[in-house]
Amino acid sequence: MRRRLINSTLAVVLVVIAVFGLSLVIVETRTISNSAHERVESEAVRLVSIVNTRLLTDRQITSDIIKDQVAERYAVIEIKGRAPIRVGTRPTGDVIKAQVEGEKGEKVTVEEPHSTVTDEVWRTLLIIGAVAALAVVAAVLLAVRQANRLTSPLTDLAETAERLGSGDPRPRHKRYGVPELDRVADVLDGSAERIARMLTAERRLAADASHQLRTPLTALSMRLEEITLTDDLGTVKEEATVALTQVERLTDVVERLLTNARDPRTGNAVDFDLDEVIKQQIEEWRPAYRSAGRAIINSGKEHLKAVGTPGAVAQVLAALIENSLMHGGGTVALRTRVIGNQAVIEVTDQGSGVPPDLGARIFERAISGRNSTGIGLAVARDLAEADGGRLEMRQATPPVFALFLSRSRPAASQDEVGESERTVR
């Protein structure tokens, strides 16, 4: 492309120089030739005037007198009854000739060699050629500069596209002062940002899935081990029922993670009984706490209804209970109460609490007080917010985490009401 730009620019310049240069040469040649003829004719008229004046005053006319009046030209003066007076050297070859006759019959002939015209034409051609050469050089420099200005950005844009294809989604935010190229750069930067968000979402989904699926899979594995170790049919049925429940929970976790990955604002909020979710979590985690020599209890207001996704609420509670098991101490208590139009579930333990340096960042990803992933609380907060609730740390020592859930659905907007009426009809 660079070579084509330079060649096309040079071709245009050469065509322009050829057209205008040829026209200029023709015009200048004619102008020089006409000017030479006018000079010779003017010289002849001037000499006739001089000769005529001397004849009227009866003054002498000699070659010396005429020679002083002729500037490097050949002149012949013919007067009746006298010998012709010749001044200068008669030119050979092509000449420019002018002959003028005076009032008393005298004739003056002036000749000039045509080579003077030829020399002047050549000088003019040299000047035109020099200007044309300078124009060509300027055109080459301009073409190279313009080609660099256009090809360098295209090379940069190609490199940016290649980086995007190789998995490096960093935008360059580089512009070139050419609207069309800047538009392409804007599109590539926008694509880079979208790819970066997609990669971040994929990595986040993978990390969240590995963290959130770990506990249900462990519990399911324990139930299956219990089934393999017993011959009691009743126990087998009981453990199998619990295992199926955990499989359903596992399916709900996967669906919820995928839903949040596509659109965190999307949810399937329903009215549900908090007691059932809390009871399920306590039964699921009690064996792990019993193995650690600790207890898990619940207290507070019973028969509370909340609006949300039961599976998501269970995951939030599971994250808090697991966090207390790993980092807390003593008995873990789940307390339910009502604040205004919100149902609150508080999870607390008797441990040393959250270190002061982690208090403000406890819900950030990769923030952990021990050798854990630092993902659990961050995922729990995202799940709570996606359900229209919120997760807070209300107290650092002893630690108290609170999950706030709405007890009633928000009022539907007029558009939603209209849509519902149309659906019913």
The domain that holds 85 is classified in CATH as 3.30.450.250
Q: What is the pLDDT of residue 384?
A: 85
CATH code where residue 370 lies = 3.30.565.10
Q: What is the pLDDT of residue 57?
A: 67
% pLDDT > 70, the chain? 80
253 three-class SS: helix
Query: What is the rounded distance in angstroms from the CA atom of residue 89 to the CA atom of residue 231?
Result: 144
- 105 and 175 part of one domain: no
Please enumerate in sequence order all residues whose Cβ is within 8 A of that of 144, keeping only pairs 6 or more positions apart, or say none.
6
In a domain, 144, yes or no: no
- 17 and 82 part of one domain: yes
Residue 401 in contact with residue 391, Cβ under 8 Å? yes
Q: What is the pLDDT of residue 229?
A: 79
Write b or e for each residue in 219-229: b if 16 or more Cβ atoms lie within 10 A of its Cβ, otherwise e: bbebbeebeee
Q: Among 207, 225, 254, give the residue marking a domain's end.
A: 207
The number of distinct structural domains making up the chain is 3
Please enumerate in sequence order all residues whose Cβ is within 8 A of that of 329, keeping only pairs 6 or more positions apart, or say none.
294, 349, 350, 351, 352
In a domain, 244, yes or no: no
pLDDT mean over 266-294: 84
- 337 and 378 part of one domain: yes
In a domain, 228, yes or no: no
Concatenated DSSP letters for 189-224? HHHHHHHHHHHHHHHHHHHHHHHHHHHHHHHHHHHH
Q: What is the largest CA-CA distance in the chain?
A: 164
Give, as one character, the DSSP assignment of residue 338. E
Note the pLDDT tens digit of each residue in 329-346. 999 999 999 998 999 999
In a domain, 227, yes or no: no
Please enumerate in sequence order all residues whose Cβ is within 8 A of that of 403, keeping only pairs 6 or more positions apart, or say none.
313, 316, 317, 320, 344, 345, 346, 347, 384, 389, 390, 391
Note the pLDDT tens digit of each residue in 170-183. 777 778 777 887 88
Q: What is the Cα Rg of the chain in Å?
A: 52
- 400 and 283 part of one domain: yes
- 337 and 376 part of one domain: yes
Which of these, 32, 40, 35, lies nearest to 127 by C-alpha position? 32
pLDDT mean over 182-195: 83
Residue 109 in contact with residue 70, Cβ under 8 Å? no
Q: What is the pLDDT of residue 81?
A: 74
Asked if pLDDT for residue 419 goes beyond 80, the answer is no
Which of these, 63, 82, 83, lies nearest to 74 by C-alpha position? 63
Residue 260 in contact with residue 381, Cβ under 8 Å? no
Q: What is the pLDDT of residue 346?
A: 95
Confidence of residue 421 (pLDDT cuts 50, 70, 90): very low
Confidence of residue 257 (pLDDT cuts 50, 70, 90): low
In a domain, 399, yes or no: yes
- 199 and 297 part of one domain: no
Confidence of residue 7 (pLDDT cuts 50, 70, 90): confident
Which amino acid type is present at position 61? I
Residue 345 in contact with residue 317, Cβ under 8 Å? yes
In a domain, 69, yes or no: yes
Residue 47 in contact with residue 75, Cβ under 8 Å? yes
Q: What is the pLDDT of residue 296?
A: 93
Containing structural domain, residue 370? 267-425
Helix, strand, coil shares of the chain, percent, nearest 5, are: 60, 15, 25
87 three-class SS: strand
In a domain, 153, yes or no: no
CA-CA-CA-CA torsion for 255, 261, 267, 271, nearest 10 degrees? 50
Residue 409 in contact with residue 307, Cβ under 8 Å? yes
In a domain, 218, yes or no: no
Query: What is the rounded distance in angstroms from the CA atom of residue 213 to the CA atom of residue 250?
Result: 7
289 three-class SS: helix
Identify the H or E element spanning 409: none
- 130 and 175 part of one domain: no
